[in-house]
């Protein structure tokens, strides 16, 4: 079974202006015989689909020719490389390379040339079950230049495992080794192009952009990569540039869409426009932009049109603003400039047949020389990629043929044998390392260029270089010409950057649009979260609009403070007085005064008072968990012991003089079973339960409390809920105090020696006053003052009991011993009894 693909089938419709293969083999510019043939796919007759003003005759005008001069330059780069290799004594010695070059008309004529390359010398493509010994016309294919055409060609060539090296197609589809095992690139992928663009945006702090993309695979793939890679970049406008499918001219509908797109760009608030499109779709777009008076924008060009001369020559294009672009790195190929400009002259310097202008461009010799100036200005960028592509195939063939300094082992080479060698190439060309290891593309670098309108001899000036290996953008000059009046860097942000210490409040779905709000006092802005202010740690503070917190001045009751000295002085005096009272009562424990004061219960109260005075230093110095535990428990327990003794003492006196007569049986049980000690034990057990519960609910641990009137100061206290803890601890004491006060009041008419009402009233008054004062201070203030008031309340209550209750007893013992006799007390009781009768 055969597929016949002869010359008549290669004839292309005239209205498409596609060159038949017969014309390609007519001139040495397109054909060169050799031991091994390479196929070249170039866009020599690009369809001018975007501009309705170019002619479409069989013979191109000089304006059309300038559009095609780039394609001829790439063609010459291939021819130049082949001639260098054939003249080399080190690379493929004794082996000659030939070439067949075909015009793919950008991407509309890709299949016909590929079938031509697959055919044998008899224009026949044999169909076999096994293509191991299949020998097509060419050994490898260089090109084509556009991404869509490269993918189309790769689909066919990969079936036959024919090496394909594209010199300008940046599409990531060619990275798929399973789909395209024999497709390679002599240019970095479009992903690296997008990375370079993002570095450019970051360099000038542009985060509010418009994105325009062509309605084809190239535009959509670039857009997808941009969306995936862009972080911190917001798109104000995303619109498509239509691409015609079948006609060279844009239809009225597509022209209307482009006009609408330009209008959207004008009304967008973003001042930077990224255009991800092939070059042939853009002439009408930029003509329309000039017509609608688009100005003062920054345009970022994709590699496909970054150095396109036809766009640069659009009238008044300079008015649209500043045009930057990502372009392939420029390399100088020694001797290539002179080689390229001679392409239009014959051996005798005469022009060839003018009817073949769209093949050999003889008619446009003057235009060629003019266009060559532009080609020189834009640099040998893609030319080097074509040049290196030929060398890649040559080095792979050199290894496959086992070449040495003497020569090579010539033999029949099948394309599939060349693929592994192409993958392994690693050599230096013009001081640049060429390798296809990895994703199958050379690690070429990109450059950031600027279109210069005042320098026609250097229209595309390099301003920065981007290394795909190091992932860095290095600016080579700060002399960038902006369209702004004072040549300042244009601003393209939705919202201006917030001042330090301000958080962002979103005002739209876009993260780039926000309003700035100062962080409140006591908070700061963490750069990891720009949308919320973080609270400062407890030991730090900040003013409104702060980026950091500052250490607070930690306040506590210090040992050297004057208040501390006063507290310690009174506590020491109280402790001494209590110790003296204890010794006195121990010595005179058998006397009526001591017995009437409570007898053995007095020593329980005095011991509690001593412990209370010893606990005063726990309120001074840096609080610790131990100190806080003592503050919250010791005084409360000691005071409860004292107040319970007072209560039972008052109750006992009333019982002796009144209850014994009213309820003699109850009184006998009280006396028989030591009711006073049972009462005290029950009260102490209840108090211990309350205290333990309080400790569990309100753990006594040091905490830092900020002061509202001075955020720079923080008070170190023992409990965040100190007021609640104090209420819980004081609830039982308050009840006992009221009960004690009531019992004392009932005994105000008892014998003077047994009337403790005024002394207990003094003690209870001290307690009530200190308790009320403490709560007032805690309600109004925070900080050290609360600690001072707490400690002062403890000292006052302890002194009130020690001096107010035990003081008069000691006075009688020391200064009125005559009243400390049983006879004196008996006389007082008889006098009370006589008054009652």
Give the per-residue pLDDT at 8: 33
pLDDT at 285 over 90: yes
Please tell me the distance from the alpha carbon of residue 748 to that of residue 809, in angstroms, as a whole number: 17
Please tell me the distance from the alpha carbon of residue 498 to that of residue 382, in angstroms, as a whole number: 44
pLDDT at 535 over 70: yes
CA distances from 12 to 15, 16, 45, 309 (A): 9, 7, 13, 28
- Angle (CA) 816-821-824 rounded to 5° is 90
DSSP state of 817: G
- pLDDT-derived band at 565 (thresholds 50, 70, 90) equals very high
Contact criterion met (CB below 8 Å) for 648 and 676 = yes
Give the per-residue pLDDT at 613: 92
Note the helical H segments in 559-674: 562-587, 592-597, 600-614, 625-654, 660-662, 664-672
Read off the pLDDT of each residue in 507-517 and give the average, rounded to a whole number.
87
- Give me the percent of the chain exceeding a pLDDT of 70: 80
Please tell me the distance from the alpha carbon of residue 653 to that of residue 596, in angstroms, as a whole number: 9
pLDDT at 35 over 70: yes
The mean pLDDT value of the chain amounts to 80
DSSP state of 441: B
In this predicted model, what pLDDT tens digit does every residue of 753-797 receive, in sequence order?
555 666 777 777 777 787 788 778 777 777 788 888 888 888 988
pLDDT at 606 over 60: yes
pLDDT at 388 over 70: yes
Give the per-residue pLDDT at 443: 57
More confidently predicted of 64 and 113? 113
Q: Is 12 helix (H, G, I), strand (E, B) or coil?
A: coil
DSSP structure string for 776-800:
HHHHH--SHHHHHHHHHHHHHHHHH
Hunting for tokens 């040559």 — which residue is that?
394
pLDDT at 56 over 70: no
In this predicted model, what pLDDT tens digit does every residue of 22-34 receive, in sequence order?
334 333 456 788 8
Read off the pLDDT of each residue in 82-105 and give the average, rounded to a whole number.
89
Q: Is 705 helix (H, G, I), strand (E, B) or coil?
A: strand
pLDDT at 622 over 50: yes
Q: Return the minimum-mean-pLDDT range out of 149-158, 344-353, 482-491, 709-718.
A: 344-353
Strands 710-717 and 703-707: antiparallel
pLDDT at 271 over 90: yes
Note the helical H segments in 406-492: 415-423
More confidently predicted of 570 and 837? 570
pLDDT at 211 over 50: yes
Give the per-residue pLDDT at 114: 87
CA distances from 192 to 216, 469, 471, 595 (A): 20, 10, 9, 101
Give the per-residue pLDDT at 376: 61
Give the per-residue pLDDT at 149: 86
Read off the pLDDT of each residue in 197-205 and give the average, rounded to a whole number.
92
| 397 alpha-carbon distance from chain centroid | 49
pLDDT at 359 over 50: no
Give the per-residue pLDDT at 666: 61
Give the per-residue pLDDT at 664: 63
Give the per-residue pLDDT at 299: 96
- pLDDT-derived band at 543 (thresholds 50, 70, 90) equals confident
pLDDT at 109 over 80: no
Read off the pLDDT of each residue in 358-365 and give the average, rounded to a whole number.
43
User: How many C-beta neighbours within 10 Å does residue 235 have?
Assistant: 18
Q: Return the minimum-mean-pLDDT range out of 56-60, 210-214, 524-528, 744-748.
A: 56-60
Which secondary structure element, helix H or strand E, spans residue 813, and what is its range? helix 806-815
Read off the pLDDT of each residue in 157-170 and give the average, rounded to a whole number.
91
Please tell me the distance from the alpha carbon of residue 768 to that of residue 79, in angstroms, as a whole number: 110
Residues 6+ apart with CB under 8 A from 570: 795, 799
**Of the candidates 390, 810, 830, 359, which has an alpha carbon nearest to the alpha carbon of residue 576?**
810
- pLDDT-derived band at 247 (thresholds 50, 70, 90) equals very low
Residue 327 phi/psi, 5-degree rounding, is: -125, 155
Give the per-residue pLDDT at 712: 81
Q: Return the minimum-mean-pLDDT range out of 81-95, 652-666, 707-721.
A: 652-666
Read off the pLDDT of each residue in 421-432 and give the average, rounded to a whole number.
90
Give the per-residue pLDDT at 217: 85
Q: Residue 144: is the preceding peptide bond cis (ω within 30°)?
A: yes
Bridge partners (DSSP) listed for residue 213: 240, 276
DSSP structure string for 284-300:
HHHHHHHHTT--SEEEE
Contact criterion met (CB below 8 Å) for 503 and 530 = yes
Hunting for tokens 């005002």 — which residue is that?
507
Residues 6+ apart with CB under 8 A from 132: 414, 416
Residue 518 phi/psi, 5-degree rounding, is: -65, 140
Q: Return the minimum-mean-pLDDT range out of 85-94, 397-406, 779-788.
A: 779-788
Read off the pLDDT of each residue in 632-649 and give the average, rounded to a whole number.
85
More confidently predicted of 509 and 837? 509
- pLDDT-derived band at 657 (thresholds 50, 70, 90) equals low
Read off the pLDDT of each residue in 384-395 and give the average, rounded to a whole number.
93
Give the per-residue pLDDT at 246: 52
């Amino acid at each position: 079974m055969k597929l016949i693909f002869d010359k008549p089938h290669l004839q292309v419709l005239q209205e498409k202006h596609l060159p038949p293969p017969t014309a390609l083999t007519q001139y040495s510019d397109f054909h060169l015989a050799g031991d091994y043939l390479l196929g070249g796919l170039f866009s020599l007759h690009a369809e001018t689909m975007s501009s309705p003003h170019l002619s479409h005759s069989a013979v191109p005008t000089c304006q059309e020719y300038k559009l095609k001069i780039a394609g001829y330059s790439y063609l010459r780069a291939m021819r130049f490389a082949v001639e260098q290799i054939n003249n080399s004594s080190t690379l493929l010695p004794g082996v000659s390379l030939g070439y067949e070059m075909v015009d793919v008309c950008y991407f509309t004529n890709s299949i016909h040339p590929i079938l031509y390359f697959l055919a044998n010398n008899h224009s026949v493509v044999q169909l076999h079950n096994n293509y191991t010994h299949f020998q097509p016309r060419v050994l490898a294919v260089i090109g084509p230049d556009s991404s869509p055409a490269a993918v189309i060609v790769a689909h066919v060539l990969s079936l036959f495992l024919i090496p394909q090296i594209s010199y300008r197609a940046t599409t990531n589809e060619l990275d798929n080794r399973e789909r395209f095992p024999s497709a390679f690139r002599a240019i970095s992928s479009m992903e690296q192009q997008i990375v370079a663009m993002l570095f450019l945006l970051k360099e000038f702090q542009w985060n509010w952009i418009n994105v325009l993309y062509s309605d084809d695979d190239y535009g959509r793939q670039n857009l997808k990569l941009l969306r995936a890679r862009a972080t911190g970049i917001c798109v104000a406008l995303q619109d498509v540039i239509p691409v015609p499918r079948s006609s060279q001219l844009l239809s009225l509908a597509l022209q209307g869409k482009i006009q609408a797109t330009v209008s959207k760009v004008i009304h967008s608030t973003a001042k930077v426009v990224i255009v991800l499109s092939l070059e042939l779709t853009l002439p009408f777009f930029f003509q329309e932009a000039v017509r609608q008076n688009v100005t003062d924008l920054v345009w970022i060009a994709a590699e496909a049109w970054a150095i396109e001369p036809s766009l640069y020559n659009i009238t008044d294009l300079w008015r649209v603003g500043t045009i930057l672009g990502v372009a392939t790195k420029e390399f100088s190929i020694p001797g290539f400039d002179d080689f390229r400009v001679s392409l239009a002259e014959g051996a005798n310097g005469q022009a060839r047949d003018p009817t073949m202008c769209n093949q050999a461009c003889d008619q446009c010799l003057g235009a060629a020389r003019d266009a060559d100036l532009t080609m020189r200005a834009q640099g040998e960028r893609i030319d080097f990629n074509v040049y290196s592509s030929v060398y890649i195939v040559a080095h792979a063939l050199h290894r496959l043929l086992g070449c040495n300094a003497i020569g090579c082992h010539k033999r029949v080479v099948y394309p599939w044998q060349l693929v592994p060698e192409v993958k392994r190439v690693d050599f230096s060309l013009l001081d640049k390392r060429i390798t296809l290891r990895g994703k199958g593309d050379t690690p070429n670098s990109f450059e950031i260029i600027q279109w210069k309108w005042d320098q026609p001899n250097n229209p595309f000036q390099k301003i920065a270089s981007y290394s795909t290996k190091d992932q860095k953008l290095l600016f080579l000059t700060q002399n960038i010409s902006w369209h702004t009046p004072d040549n300042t860097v244009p601003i393209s942000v939705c919202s201006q950057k917030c001042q330090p210490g301000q958080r962002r409040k979103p005002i739209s779905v876009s993260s780039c649009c926000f309003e700035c709000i100062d962080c409140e006092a006591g908070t700061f802005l963490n750069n990891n979260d720009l949308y919320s202010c973080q609270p400062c740690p407890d030991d730090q503070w900040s003013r409104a609009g702060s980026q950091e917190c500052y250490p607070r001045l930690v306040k506590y009751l210090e040992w050297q403070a004057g208040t501390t000295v006063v507290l310690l002085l009174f506590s020491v005096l109280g402790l001494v007085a209590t110790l003296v009272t204890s010794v006195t009562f121990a010595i005179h424990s058998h006397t009526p005064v001591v017995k009437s004061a409570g007898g053995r219960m007095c020593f329980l109260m005095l011991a509690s008072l001593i412990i209370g005075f010893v606990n005063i230093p726990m309120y001074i110095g840096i609080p610790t968990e131990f100190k806080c535990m003592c503050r919250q428990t010791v005084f409360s327990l000691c005071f409860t012991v004292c107040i319970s003794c007072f209560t039972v003492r008052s109750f006992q006196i009333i019982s002796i003089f009144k209850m014994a007569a009213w309820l003699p049986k109850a009184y006998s049980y009280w006396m028989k079973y030591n009711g006073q000690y049972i009462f005290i034990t029950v009260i102490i057990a209840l108090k211990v339960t309350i205290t333990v519960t309080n400790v569990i609910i309100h753990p006594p641990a040091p905490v830092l409390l900020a002061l509202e009137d001075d955020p720079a100061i923080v008070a170190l206290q023992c409990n965040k809920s100190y007021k609640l803890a104090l209420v819980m601890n004081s609830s039982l004491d308050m009840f006992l105090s009221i009960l004690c006060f009531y019992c004392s009041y009932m005994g105000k008419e008892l014998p003077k020696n047994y009337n403790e009402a005024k002394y207990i009233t003094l003690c209870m008054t001290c307690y009530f006053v200190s308790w009320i004062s403490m709560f007032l201070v805690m309600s109004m203030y925070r900080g050290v003052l609360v600690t001072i008031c707490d400690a002062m309340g403890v000292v006052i209550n302890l002194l009130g009991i020690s001096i107010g209750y035990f003081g008069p007893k000691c006075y009688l013992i020391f200064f009125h011993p005559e009243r400390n006799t049983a006879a004196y007390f008996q006389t007082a009781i008889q006098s009370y009894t006589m008054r009652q009768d």
